Amino acid sequence: MKSKNYPDSICDISEKDFWSHIRVPSTGEGVEHLAKAVRLGRAGRKAAAYKALAEYHRLAMKDVWDLERDRIGREPTHPYQKAEDVLRFKIAGYQDRTVQFKAKIDWNCNAFGEIGWYGFHYLSWLTPAVRRFIDRREKRYRDCLVGIVDSYYAARNSLNWPVPRLHPVYYELAAWAKMRHLLPLYLTLINEGNLPARTIEAFVKLFLGFARSLKRYQKSYRHGNHQIVGCSGLFRLARIFGEFSESRTWEKTAMRYLQEHLRKEFFSDGGHGERCWGYGFMSLGGFCDAYDIAQLRGGLGKHRGYFLRKIRSAFRWFARTLGPDELKPEYGDCHLGSGSGIIDTALRYFPKGTGRDLGIDRSRSCLLKPSGFAIMRNGGESASAYLNITFGKFAGWHSHMDVLNLNFWAMSKPLLEEAGRFDSYDNPLDTLIRTPKYHNVVTIDGQHFDAADADDVHGRDVFWHSNPEIDYFSACHSAYKYYRLGSESANAVVRRTVVFVKDPGYALVFDSVRRLASPEPAGFAITQNWHSPFPFTVAGPGLARTKGRPAMLLAFARPENLRRLETGVDFAGDEVTVKSTYSDRYHLRARRWMPVVEYTGVVGFATLLYPFKGTMPKVTIRPVEAKGVELFRAEAFEVKTPRGTDVIVLNPERLDGLIWKGRKFSDRCLVELGRSRGKVVVG
């Protein structure tokens, strides 16, 4: 359908408009063909004009074609059948949802879902066939791809797009994504020769329409990946199609916002502002694309060094945060999966000989306070333990509005992993994965997380300590608020303290929920939520584990008032239409509430997380006697494992009154490691 938001200068570019906006440079490869094309075009000899224009592009864009072929050659190969499916119009659209068309592709097909339909229009499903055609130049692929491009261009004004500002052909993400697939196809086809004039017209008017549409979107700075990749695409179009008189304005606009995003979009530690591994890499890729084309055509002048420093800083953030085997976490709108492609890309922007660690010691733990993540490790090997904790602010749609989620991987498996992105936004379960109880956090039963104040929900009173023996992290948040209409609600502070003992590689998670002043005097029940790709089973009083080998053992101190251990399925099997290595999720919900007569305004958990292989080991955690104990706020625990007996004293708020071994204990943590392994004090 037509829309005033997408004028004819974008959707229906007239011949007069098109040829009047081309300027012929005085010198350059193939300029005589460009001059001929303009002369013929303005004279109304359409077919001959587009043929001459394609010949100009063939000669003038040899460098771009080499760049595009190199980029595609670095991407993972596709099974032969995927390319054959495109020829048979069996289209694996957004999130691999497949639709079999008959004689032609229906560009209005609603079988992908509303969001999936937009993804279908990114045309990424063309890639296997484009890659095979580039490699083999088979005529049947050529004919099919030419037909698809002709069909797509012809359908641009007959699409039933639901959101007026999001034309599926020309809106910001669509224009950027399609250019990445259509440009190498166009260059391959014109180098193959004898491309029909109508198809040349379709390609070049799509490219011009993309650039004009992307330019119209850039009215002011907008946080997030949309504007970054949109401006990256606009910059690339400006440098590639410099014959258009508008290209200087495109480039000036794109550079203005790309530089502003480099200044504002990244935290000082290199993390991307949306706090999500997948969309962070997508945004970083936008800067890389702009940098690459600039290095090929015209450079970046005085801005080159700044671009390169920011790109390297961002890639180092990924090197610091990726798990063993370069696995990337599922936090936010990101699939749990390989991050090796991130490092593969990164190496192109570092000096030759740089290792895959990018100069970072990936065996060491670190606190990334600006971006709001803590990373705990006990080595850099594939089987090493790895924990990530989030405590930063809500960063928009692609991150989470809750904090203090903890994931724990060990022995080459993600044994505890939140239920994050796993399917299309159209999936009915999508709204669930955004809620706190689907993450590895503590929730207050029956009380709403304060989504209205999400922008101010973040870890407070953050403290970090790391040495060769332990890592210590503690932070709190106040995301539960009293509401006048919610008699069950109360103002509360949730604190999570994590002690990671690196040998043998276990974690003690000490959670407390403390009620502040509130009109309602009643206490509350709380739930400690855990999620895993592997089913949970209750193994005994105060004990649970994940199934399989290796596994995670969860042992709870004070099992006498641990009211329930509930296991179940988040999503699994046929409920997950997009399969991956770890696509299923299961939950364990530990629930606790205190007897009314004993309730002091605080309730919590002390939970031991112990990864193991083979037979479940005998592991215990129990409180040990100390004076001045405040339940779930200042306590001491004995932890017995096959490695020995450790004692951990915790006082994360540095409360007065805790006495340990006859002396006032005012430090945050004391760890006495058994079998003469030493002692660690966290002050």
Say which amino acid occupies 456.
D
Per-residue pLDDT band for 1 (boundaries 50, 70, 90) equals very low
Per-residue pLDDT band for 522 (boundaries 50, 70, 90) equals low
What's the pLDDT score for residue 491? 86
Q: Is residue 421 part of a domain?
A: yes
> Within this chain, do residues 42 and 98 fall inside the same structural domain, yes or no?
no
> Within this chain, do residues 462 and 585 fall inside the same structural domain, yes or no?
yes
pLDDT digits (tens, 9 = 90+) for 453-487: 777 789 999 999 999 999 999 999 998 887 776 66
Strand runs labelled E in 223-336: 327-328
> Within this chain, do residues 455 and 377 fall inside the same structural domain, yes or no?
yes
Q: Is residue 239 part of a domain?
A: no
Does pLDDT of 440 surpass 50? yes
What's the pLDDT score for residue 3? 54
Angle among Cα 355, 361, 362 to the nearest 5 degrees reads: 90
Q: Which two structure tokens, joined as six digits, stand for 517?
A: 């002043």
pLDDT digits (tens, 9 = 90+) for 399-408: 888 899 999 9
DSSP 8-state code for residue 272? B
> Within this chain, do residues 418 and 553 fall inside the same structural domain, yes or no?
yes
Q: Is residue 350 part of a domain?
A: no
d(CA 416, CA 661): 35
Strand runs labelled E in 378-525: 386-390, 406-410, 413-416, 442-444, 460-466, 470-480, 492-501, 506-515
> Within this chain, do residues 98 and 21 fall inside the same structural domain, yes or no?
no
**How many residues would you count in the chain?**
683
d(CA 112, CA 97): 6
Q: Which two structure tokens, joined as six digits, stand for 667?
A: 């430090």
> Within this chain, do residues 140 and 26 fall inside the same structural domain, yes or no?
no
H-run or E-run covering 621: strand 620-623
> Within this chain, do residues 54 and 87 fall inside the same structural domain, yes or no?
no
Q: What is the dihedral of CA 398, 399, 402, 403, to 10 degrees?
A: 170
* Last residue within a domain, chosen from 560, 588, 617: 617
d(CA 418, CA 395): 18
- pTM reported for the whole predicted model: 0.95
pLDDT digits (tens, 9 = 90+) for 125-134: 999 999 999 9
d(CA 174, CA 156): 13
| Residue 347 contacts residue 74 (beta carbons within 8 Å) | no
Q: Which two structure tokens, joined as six digits, stand for 510?
A: 């000490």
What's the pLDDT score for residue 39? 97
* Last residue within a domain, chosen from 150, 180, 196: 196
d(CA 106, CA 60): 35
Domain count of the chain? 3
Say which amino acid occupies 532.
S
Q: Which two structure tokens, joined as six digits, stand for 485?
A: 């209409």
Other C-beta atoms closer than 10 Å to the C-beta of 42 total 15
pLDDT digits (tens, 9 = 90+) for 223-277: 999 999 999 999 999 999 999 999 999 999 999 999 999 999 999 999 999 999 9
Q: Is residue 651 part of a domain?
A: no
d(CA 179, CA 175): 6
Q: Is residue 432 part of a domain?
A: yes
Going by their DSSP bridges, the two strands 543-546 and 620-623 should be labelled as unpaired
Q: Is residue 457 part of a domain?
A: yes
The β-bridge partners of 671 are 648, 680
> Within this chain, do residues 393 and 528 fall inside the same structural domain, yes or no?
yes
> Within this chain, do residues 53 and 81 fall inside the same structural domain, yes or no?
no
> Within this chain, do residues 520 and 420 fall inside the same structural domain, yes or no?
yes
> Within this chain, do residues 96 and 189 fall inside the same structural domain, yes or no?
yes
Q: Is residue 654 part of a domain?
A: no
d(CA 417, CA 609): 13
H-run or E-run covering 196: none
pLDDT digits (tens, 9 = 90+) for 577-600: 777 788 899 999 999 988 766 677
CATH of the domain at 393: 2.70.98.70
* Last residue within a domain, chosen from 617, 633, 659: 617
Three-class SS of residue 540? strand
d(CA 140, CA 138): 6
Residue 579 domain boundaries: 366-617
> Within this chain, do residues 56 and 154 fall inside the same structural domain, yes or no?
no
Q: Is residue 287 part of a domain?
A: no
What's the pLDDT score for residue 114? 82
- The alpha-carbon radius of gyration of the chain (Å, integer) is 29
d(CA 80, CA 135): 12
| Residue 393 contacts residue 326 (beta carbons within 8 Å) | no
| Residue 260 contacts residue 218 (beta carbons within 8 Å) | no
